[in-house]
Amino acid sequence: MLEKETFHPLNYIKKEEYSGSMDGMRYMLKRSKNGEEDVIRVTIWPEPFNLLKTPEDLKEILEVPLTAEGVEQAREWLNEQYEAGKEYWTQQLHQLWTERSYGS
């Protein structure tokens, strides 16, 4: 789980994409525009591929304000999405490790 005390990527997001993973669920936070407004686009997708190689139908996206409050909304959403699909995410991770271990 992403903890409030250690999840502070706002200054980083203002300049670069911020990505990570949680047991099979990959995520990226990226500065984007929604009309004239700067927002954080939060995208999640399953292992094993990077964002560009993952089919669009496997991605979920949330946009939040480019503020500290928006980062907190993103953190809460990421945790909710992980918990709601925990079995799916861990299955994706297990499948990835099985394929790497056995060459399937």
Q: Is residue 47 part of a domain?
A: yes
Burial class (CB in 10 A: 0-12, 13-18, 19+), 13: buried
Q: Is residue 101 part of a domain?
A: no
Owning domain of residue 50: 10-94
pLDDT at 3: 93
Per the confidence metrics, is the pTM higher than 0.85? yes
Is 30 within 8 Å of 18 (Cβ atoms)?
yes
Q: Is residue 2 part of a domain?
A: no
- Number of domains forming the structure of the chain: 1
pLDDT, mean of each 10-residue run, the chain (104 residues): 90 94 95 96 93 94 97 97 93 71 54
Q: Is residue 64 part of a domain?
A: yes
Q: Is residue 84 part of a domain?
A: yes
Q: Is residue 99 part of a domain?
A: no
